[in-house]
Amino acid sequence: MAEIAFEGFDPPHQSDTRTIYIANRFPQHGHYVPQKFADNRIISSKYTVWNFVPKNLFEQFRRVANFYFLIIFLVQLMIDTPTSPITSGLPLFFVITVTAIKQGYEDWLRHKADNEVNGAPVYVVRSGGLVKTRSKNIRVGDIVRVAKDETFPVDLVLLSSDRVDGSCHVTTASLDGETNLKTHVAVPETAVLQSVANLDKLVAVIECQQPEADLYRFVGRITVSQQTEEIVRPLGPESLLLRGARLKNTKEIFGVAVYTGMETKMALNYKSKSQKRSAVEKSMNSFLIIYLIILLFEAILSTILKYAWQAEEKWDEPWYNEKTEHERNSSKILRFISDFLAFLVLYNFIIPISLYVTVEMQKFLGSFFIGWDLDLYHKETNQRAQVNTSDLNEELGQVEYVFTDKTGTLTENEMQFRECSINGVKYQEVNGKLTPEGFSEDSPDGNRHSLMKEEELFLKAVCLCHTVQINADQTDGADGPWHANGITSPLEYYASSPDEKALVEAASRVGVVFTGTSGDSMEVKSLGKPERYRLLHVLEFDPNRRRMSVIVESPSGEKLLFTKGAESSVLPRSKSGEIDKTRIHVDEFALKGLRTLCIAYRRFTPEEYQEIGKRLHEARTALQQREERLADVFNFIERDLELLGATGVEDKLQEKVQETIEALRLAGIKVWVLTGDKHETAVSVSLSCGHFHRTMNILELVQHKSDSTCAEQLRQLAKRIKEDHVIQHGLVVDGTSLSLALREHEKLFMEVCKNCSAVLCCRMAPLQKAKVVRLLKTSPEKPITLAIGDGANDVSMIQEAHVGIGIMGKEGRQAVRNSDYAIARFKFLSKLLFVHGHFYYIRIATLVQYFFYKNVCFITPQFLYQFFCLFSQQTLYDSVYLTLYNICFTSLPVLIYSLFEQHVHPHVLQSKPVLYRDISKNSHLGFKPFLYWTILGFFHAFVFFYGSYLLMGEDTSLLGNGQMFGNWTFGTLVFTVMVITVTMKMALETHFWTWINHFVTWGSIVFYFIFSLFYGGIIWPFLHTQDMYFVFVQLLSSGSAWFAIILIVVACLFIDVVKKVLYRHLQPTSTEKAQLTEAGSGINCLDSMCCFSDGETACTSVRRMLERLMGRCSPSRVNRSWSSSDPFYANDRSILTLSTMDSSTC
């Protein structure tokens, strides 16, 4: 057994097992040193009051930009720099504080939840009585009492319940989402101890494995001392009650604490937040490095030019600025370094510090839209979409491969019995009767009331070999009214497997009814006649054996084994029965898309049974390699079977699966189905859900046992694909062939897969699913992958993919807990990707590039100004403006844009999946768009600076009273033009205007003017210098300054508008074509620049735009770029549509 290290263990006693003395009665003799165990406190929080500040600061300064600004701040403190330390200290402090508050608040909520859990009242048996204490005070070895509908406070081994047989029912919905009742049983020796007084006398020791995260695995044994003898009993998962599970249908239980606090299985399953990183974040980091290089280049160039300039005597030491003796004698190298650092500080704002905090806020706030979207809400189950990781929102817009599970994801996981094969004859259920194929109701033999011997035995096997339970309130109703053919008023069954439930319900409809268990007996009514079978052993299902069995004693005393499982694991172990006929029937069922199970049995002689009982006991009480020993014993028992027949159960497809898969294909996304089902079933479902087309050439790589045959087949497939490259190909691979292909021929296998439109992998183990995802993820193209599944077997695949999506299905909540996003139905995937993914990607791509653009605009005039001030490091802007530019003046419009922007209507995006291709492969954050935004930033900065200089710089006496312009007035003019231009640039990028956009866009400009008037119009006592006093008021009182501002803003944005118009009309993308308008309504005149008809020239388009503006708008003349037959979603109730498109303007 693998050894797991946990805090709280005493290293000298660290071993593979732990020994627990019940009620902490330690042995009195010898030098017994008890093992140390963790206390029962649950800690999900990250920080404490003492470590919050250092730990949080350490985490934040691991970010490159934060650390860089810290260095700049320290440089400003240490040397004489042109700007105040406040200019970089304040934004840094703001960013660090906002992030710390957010993280601190989240952690405080976790602390609050922890305290609630740890302080919950519990009852513990101590010194002969029940003592009330808090949950956190429970120790390993304590006997705990839990009442009905309470949750278990620790992992307990069940000692006794209020039932004589020591059984109890539990629901584990909060752990794995399974709502069915699970039965747990105590060992017979402790089951009789139902009172506190009796339990207090119990002397017993439990030995079990050290804690591990697997919810379904527990290996241990209990040694009960009674008088002189010691009785050893095995303990398995059926004896362990997990923390977080809830007691149902049982008045009370007593159990002994074996794992506490952070060592409970629930705590070990806590998953830390996903560490996946999106492609946008990687692009952002590479852009930061490029800007860092630009910054260093500007600083080095300025330093070199300064010294080149100062080589001339008159500029080195002008008469008005003589050097001190100390300055003359200081080291040149130190002076050079000091000047370089000063320039670095002067230009440091080219690196946008607030970018990180804005991106974080955008992701966090933007993720709420997914949960609020009513189109992703499933009414039947009352489930909304769920976001577990907001870091990956934009990745939803970049998906190239979708890996999906089949059962429960593409299908409903609602099983309906369809057909069965008994003793080589096919049967169907017709009106509650089993009818052999070819018989009808009217045929002379069709109306049979009795069952043949083989049929009855087959149905009894179905009714006995399962883990189904009956609703406790209904067990008395089993003797309800019987109909002629022996059907009762239906009982309500609970099962962990929908297949089992469907089979037991089908058997009850045709006359063999499972009426429940009492103690170790299973009761069956066969055509109204009750029979009681004693349950001797259950050989549990496991994914490797792919079968389960029960050993029962029939009413006549015969020992029988009933086995059911996949045909690949039952047929080879059968020695008699209609094996060949059944095999043919199983394949026929599979071709119809039915899920198949084979059923067999075996009779034991008393000697055989004795041997089996002995072997099972030995394996079950082993502490080392228990699983391996049990597997060997199970294989020994489940052999020489007599085949009874097979069942075919249908799993219905979810609605709109076909449309969703087709839409994904149109969007350029390749869909792979990875399933554990058998080959024929999987292919049949693939065809019915549209994953495979009837016209597709289906290639197969199945049932290969050796490396060489697998390689040969792969080569042949590659050759066939090259020869028939015109038609589409689909590939089917099974688990065994896949492991051979991945071992030696990975490259060849990948080549075949990439040339296929659809790939289906069947008979897959959970880890194989993850391997396939990893294989594609790490291939040279590095495509973005998405995995979607609903069961525990899909968790590894969900965690491996770039984006993991859990389906809130019937197979528990493990997939949902481990996913990044969770939705209720597969059909919601199209809206999640085509609408939300598209919007998030466009928003964040613009956000990142706009941030870099506005900082280039901000700092380049500062660099150009140095050429006019002898590189004396004089700042162009006042330090308050330097500080507030990114925090106040330009931060809100881009944040609001990144939350609300919809460049195309959601209806259009969903009905035209082809638009998804426009944003694939990170196209909006590639090198070309980045270069465009950077060059635009430099261009605008040159226009701001030289425009202001040419219009105002030469003729300085432009003020009414003859006063001259100073350097602060010039800097303020440049800054004013800049704030207006970058805000207007954001307005130009916005397609979707809400009142919030209007408020923050125009409000930011108004706020800048009001702030500047207040800041410069009043003498503030706490400022030691006030260079800006009355500067802004004077600037605004000059008519020529107003003229300059308007002229420069128009000059900057005019080029941008012309470029947009030309590109839209000469080289429109399919997204720009779709920006016409939403279906059915008129053209929105606000977007009139985007309107054009097929076959029009740019001039016609411009003419029509002018006609519109003059009120001669005729929407009817415009041909929309999609046909009227396009499927629009009439019931789209998206929360995203924040304002209606106003067609009345036309």
Closest CA to 901 of 843, 834, 831, 841: 843
Identify the weakest region by mean pLDDT among 193-207, 291-305, 722-736, 1064-1078.
Answer: 1064-1078
Structure confidence at residue 1099 as a pLDDT band (50, 70, 90): very low
Distance from C-alpha of 549 to C-alpha of 553, rounded to nearest angstrom: 13
pLDDT for the residue numbered 997? 93
pLDDT for the residue numbered 1122? 39
Structure confidence at residue 708 as a pLDDT band (50, 70, 90): confident
Long-range contact set of residues 959-963: C-beta below 8 Å, sequence gap at least 24 = 959/1034, 959/1037, 959/1038, 960/1037, 960/1038, 963/1034
More confident residue, 723 or 966: 723
Q: Could you tell me the two tokens for 577?
A: 């029965």
pLDDT for the residue numbered 873? 82
Distance from C-alpha of 877 to C-alpha of 889, rounded to nearest angstrom: 14
Q: In degrees, to the nearest 5, what angle opens at C-alpha 971 toward C-alphas 965 and 975?
A: 130
Structure confidence at residue 243 as a pLDDT band (50, 70, 90): confident
pLDDT at 861 over 90: yes
Asked whether the beta carbons of 578 and 423 are under 8 A apart, the reply is: yes
Q: In degrees, to the nearest 5, what angle opens at C-alpha 504 toward C-alphas 503 and 507?
A: 85
Residues facing 604 on adjacent strands: 559
Distance from C-alpha of 943 to C-alpha of 937, rounded to nearest angstrom: 10
pLDDT for the residue numbered 328? 67
More confident residue, 621 or 421: 421
Residues acting as catalytic residues: 405
Structure confidence at residue 320 as a pLDDT band (50, 70, 90): low
Asked whether the beta carbons of 1061 and 1105 are under 8 A apart, the reply is: no
pLDDT at 985 over 90: yes
Q: What is the pLDDT of residues 493-508, one digit of tens each?
A: 877 677 788 899 898 8
Average of pLDDT values for 1094-1123? 41
Task: Dihedral sign for Cα 202, 205, 208, 212, please.
Answer: positive
Average of pLDDT values for 949-972? 70
Structure confidence at residue 1144 as a pLDDT band (50, 70, 90): very low
Asked whether the beta carbons of 582 and 598 are under 8 A apart, the reply is: yes
Identify the weakest region by mean pLDDT among 88-102, 116-130, 546-560.
Answer: 88-102
Structure confidence at residue 860 as a pLDDT band (50, 70, 90): very high
pLDDT for the residue numbered 145? 93
Average of pLDDT values for 914-927? 87
Distance from C-alpha of 402 to C-alpha of 671, rounded to nearest angstrom: 5
pLDDT for the residue numbered 1060? 87
Distance between start and end Cα atoms, the chain: 75
Mean pLDDT for all residues in the chain:
80
Average of pLDDT values for 735-763? 86
Neighbouring C-beta atoms of residue 130, cutoff 10 Å:
11
Q: What percentage of the chain exceeds 70 in pLDDT?
A: 84
pLDDT for the residue numbered 1095? 43
Closest CA to 902 of 822, 816, 981, 989: 989
Entry pTM? 0.72
Structure confidence at residue 803 as a pLDDT band (50, 70, 90): very high
Q: What is the pLDDT of residues 87-105, one digit of tens each?
A: 778 778 888 888 888 788 8
pLDDT at 1120 over 90: no
Closest CA to 922 of 137, 169, 398, 156: 398
Average of pLDDT values for 169-193? 77
Q: What is the pLDDT of residues 1036-1094, one digit of tens each?
A: 877 788 888 999 999 999 988 998 888 888 888 888 788 755 434 443 433 333 333 34
Q: What is the pLDDT of residues 1125-1139, one digit of tens each?
A: 343 333 333 333 333
DSSP state of 962: S
* DSSP structure string for 406-472: STTTTEEEEEEEEEEEETTEEEEEETTEEEETT--SSSTTT---S--HHHHHHHHHHHHSS--EE-G
Distance from C-alpha of 508 to C-alpha of 178, rounded to nearest angstrom: 24
Residue where the block lists tokens 């084994």: 561
Distance from C-alpha of 684 to C-alpha of 688, rounded to nearest angstrom: 6
